[in-house]
Structure 1
């Protein structure tokens, strides 16, 4: 385990506490289209994914494929932009200390997310997290052809820092799809955290190496 050279960390629910506002707006946009759905269902079938894909997957689960996922996605973006004007964003408890410690030890910290670049950058600005201080790179759904559970974002991170062996990479996230992404990339360690979107039972389905309460205790497994 001590040969880990890079950690790839999900954002919302893993490093960033934004009170699930993104999924709440996905939920609201779908309901505005006349579809009855719970936030729990949105989190179960949409957590961790590029948000248009999340909407499509929720609609598919509900057998509402006649609804326009693109129209709902456009509505979602409008709702989210409005919500962000007053949104209070903060790091998940213990996350900032952990990533600063990791960087001090020479471990590369990459943030990755199913959000687009605009949303991800907005969250980081609200927390005043800076590249080169808090993280080494940010990779979003905009930066790759295929989002989670495909491994493209992790592989891109490895290419950026010229890492050849995926076993030297640790992937952590708050949803089962984060674990699936890490396994598809053949990461040496996959970690589920319980600080965000999904429950322990949901995350356990993908058999992560570890499940932690939050990133605050990440260093204990290294």
Structure 2
């Protein structure tokens, strides 16, 4: 199969199609304070490093790793989602330049686009609402919509494949994101095209190590790639 055979495109949100200007770290600070982890301490620095390294992973999974027991993890996740939602409501997010146009081009080319996230549904909906994207694509998915595991598991990609019916073969699926976790989820799902973008958390070496076949400057270059114009 070639790039032109792609029928379903699964795109990450924050860092890939959505520019959030480091809001994940700001929301983490708010959540960490709630659990007694103060900025400037070694504990905070260690936990923040882990948050940065695991960008793209389901946030509740990150907090389970950081805070151990389920009650503390759930509390941290609730505080994180609340803080992130408030930042979104404050107008601190925007589309990655060319992202909406890329989605519209992909759709015009006859491809189905699904937006996915590691955030909870309430936060995903807040982002979609803030950007005016509620009707941009036919399906959006968060970890809870696909069994709860999130990335780097392939579940959201496979859920998109099953729910849309847009492709006959997983090799007709493209997965694109700004983290190694996005890439790994696409590889594990058997997607025919898996690409990293340089507009977010991770860089080329992490993408290649996770199995990306392509690295793009941004999602704006995806329609041309899938038309076989560039790559």
What is residue 207 of structure 1 aligned with on the other side? Answer: 211
Deviation string, structure 1 residues 144-185 (Cα, Å, up to 9, x no partner)? 212111111111111122233100000000000001100111
Conserved? CA contact 1:9–1:110, under 8 Å: yes
Conserved? CA contact 1:5–1:169, under 8 Å: yes
| Higher alpha-carbon deviation: 119-128 or 67-76 | 67-76
Conserved? CA contact 2:24–2:84, under 8 Å: yes
TM-score normalised by structure 1 residue count: 0.88
Question: Does residue 1:2 correspond to 2:4, yes or no?
Answer: yes
Distance 2:152 2:211 in 1: 14
**Cα RMSD over matched residues?**
2.0
What is residue 40 of structure 2 aligned with on the other side? Answer: none
Conserved? CA contact 1:49–1:114, under 8 Å: yes
**Residue number among 39, 44, 49 corresponding to 1:36 in the alignment:** 44
| Higher alpha-carbon deviation: 15-24 or 77-86 | 77-86
Question: What is the 5 A alignment of 1:44-123?
Answer: 44-45=53-54, 47-57=55-65, 59=66, 65=68, 68-123=72-127
Conserved? CA contact 1:10–1:112, under 8 Å: yes
Distance 2:138 2:145 in 1: 16
Higher helix share: 2
Distance 1:200 1:144 in 2: 28
Conserved? CA contact 2:103–2:113, under 8 Å: yes
Distance 1:8 1:107 in 2: 10
Question: What is the 5 A alignment of 1:15-26?
Answer: 15-26=17-28
Distance 2:82 2:114 in 1: 28
What is residue 164 of structure 2 aligned with on the other side? Answer: 161
Distance 1:6 1:66 in 2: 38
Q: Which residues of structure 1 form unaligned runs of 5+?
A: none
Deviation at residue 211 of structure 1 after TM alignment: 0.7
TM-score normalised by structure 2 residue count: 0.85
Conserved? CA contact 1:171–1:179, under 8 Å: yes
Deviation string, structure 1 residues 57-99 (Cα, Å, up to 9, x no partner)? 3x2xxxx647932332233233223333313221101111111
Q: Which residues of structure 2 form unaligned runs of 5+?
A: 38-42, 227-231
Deviation at residue 55 of structure 1 after TM alignment: 2.0
| Higher alpha-carbon deviation: 137-146 or 80-89 | 80-89
